[in-house]
Amino acid sequence: MPDLEHIYLDLDLALLHAIAAQAGVQLAAPNARAAAAELAAALRQSESVEILLARALSDEARLALHTLQQAGGQFAVAPFVRRFGDLRPLGSAALAREHPWDAPGNATEALYFNGLIGRGFMETDTGPQEFFFIPSDLLPNLPPAPSQLVPSAAATATPSAEPVDASLATSALVDDSVTVLAAIQRQPGQAPAPETVASHLRLPSLNFLLTLLDDLGLTIAEFRLNRDRARAYLQGARGEQLRALADAWRDSRTCNDLWCVPTLRPQPAGWANDPVAARAHILRLCADLPPGQWRTLDSFIAFVREHHPDFQRPAGDYDSWYIRDAVSGDYLHGFEHWAQVDGALVSYLITGPMHWLGLADISPEAFRLTALFPAFMGQAEWRILDKPKPLTLHPDGLLVVPRSANRYDRFQAARIGEWLAPKEKDTYAYLITGGSLQAALAQGITARHIVAFLRRACAAPMPQMVVEAVERWGRNGVEVRAAATLVLRVKDRPLLDFLRHSSKTGPHLGESLGDLAVEVKNWEKLQDGLMELGMVAEVKTANL
């Protein structure tokens, strides 16, 4: 940051004399340049600074100065102005006429017109940015700022009675991760179809999970598993798995929470936000709240708006981000739309990812942090009870997997059975059929593998006939097939032979079902071919 003399060189001589008078300094310099050097030397002495602070600053101006101190001596102009006011553009005549150091219009003017801050552009990671700053040689001579300038969330967010419609946080995201990994393994190269996994997902978390699994390196390009990493993850303890997902979200740049807020439609137009910094800021604010105490969500969002409005916009930029309202399509520019954009993001972070990751219980109006939250923030031990239960195999080939089962075992069950909607709470259901066994074989799973898995993972006694059926399938393959098929029946065998050999009808016929019947592959095309041959068919079914 520039020093005192650097900023004083740009000030009017009358203003330099006014600053000196407030600090109890008599300037002897004959011109502005010499006066700037003389005044800077005087204000490097703590005695002159103390006099200036006592004479010139109101409580609001002191708060503004302390805010700059706590920010390391510099603060972006836009958010600082929004909070403490802007500078009037006063030339030499206006300075002499209005004496703004005697009656500053706001806290920013009180600091600037008393020589305590400067204004200028500085380089940042995103390019030049304009800041207010405390001169580098003045900053060490200022009295320390109070440790807490603004109230904490605990002191501000309104307590709430325990709601009757609360949704308690669980580790269900771990179970959903198994579902997604199994779906990818069953159909590598394809995104898991929502309709396929819907009955086995416990949270609205499919896209969220796909991002985290990729961040963890469990999946690779084009929806395929990194087998070694996926196996190590699935074989871990439940607590380790949830912690891995939580840490992945905390550090993820590809999981852009702002773009996931359902009421918003961000538009790619050259601007960028920092999801890691934004979520880290909100997590730090939440850390002031005692776990287990309900707070109203609206009051917490109001606290953020009042004291930390720029948590995701360090430069205080509310005009260059292109974000539409999801319903109206209107662009949400300006600080007046803070609640619709930034407030909506705070709500989403708590009721979405933090809830899914077991960190917050929620209701429509309130939330509370769980005992896992302090552990997530490194203030306690991360611990989740994990007592895996065995699978249950029924005589009809139904595999019932409790939610508390070993996740690697459920992953294996999901690979060898057809996915059914579970009939019991906190369970998953998979049915072993000829089709599911053939699908397993396509994944490299043999009858020997399946039998060994069932004997290891299922509770005793296990129905032996199912094991024998799997072993017979391993020897003979699928021996019986059933299918809903459209059948064409003809008057005599010569007519069937004629249709078989005709180029207009033969391609649309399947297996023979006796001397006078044949399977139909494509009824519409067969019907067109019959018409071209001058034949019509009587239809005895309405379900074509």
Q: Tokens for 293, please give them.
A: 């105490």
Residue closest to 499 by CA, chosen among 543, 465, 537: 537
Torsion of CA 8, 14, 18, 21, to 10 degrees: 100
CA atoms of 474 and 438, how far apart (whole Å): 10
Tokens 């019509």 appear where?
536
Phi, psi of 111 (to 5 degrees): -75, -45
Distance of alpha carbon 312 from alpha carbon 282, whole angstroms: 9
What does each C-alpha distance from 156 to 132, 282, 295 come to in angstroms? 28, 15, 10
Give the pLDDT confidence score for residue 544 in this predicted structure: 45
CA 77 to chain centre: 30
Q: Are 182 and 338 in contact (CB under 8 A)?
A: no
Q: How many CB atoms lie within 10 A of CB 378?
A: 8
End-to-end CA distance of the chain: 80
> For residue 280, what pLDDT is reported?
95
Pairing of strands 366-369, 360-362: antiparallel
Nearest-angstrom CA–CA distance, 509 and 130 = 77
Using 70 as the pLDDT threshold, list the residues of the chain that sit under it.
148, 478-483, 541-544
Q: What is the pTM of this model?
A: 0.78
Q: Is 3 within 8 Å of 40 (Cβ atoms)? A: yes
Cα separation, 528 vs 398, whole angstroms:
44
**Cα–Cα distance, 496 to 329 (Å, whole number):** 62
Cis bond before residue 461 (omega within 30° of 0): yes
Question: Would you say 179 and 411 are in contact if contact means Cβ atoms under 8 Å apart?
Answer: no
Q: Which residues contact 93 (CB under 8 A, 6 or more apart)?
A: none
Packed helices 464-476 and 434-442: angle between N→C axes, nearest 10 degrees? 60
pLDDT digits (tens, 9 = 90+) for 302-332: 999 988 899 998 778 898 899 999 999 999 9
H-assigned helices in 99-165:
107-112, 153-156
| The predicted structure's pLDDT at residue 341 | 97
Whether 242 and 384 have beta carbons less than 8 Å apart is answered as: yes
Q: How many CA atoms lie within 13 A of 145 on its CB side?
A: 20
Report the pLDDT value the prediction gives residue 92, as an integer from 0 to 100. Answer: 84
The two tokens of residue 135 are 């001169």
- Please check whether residue 60 is in contact with residue 107, taking contact to mean a CB–CB distance below 8 angstroms: yes
CA distance 178 to 168: 21
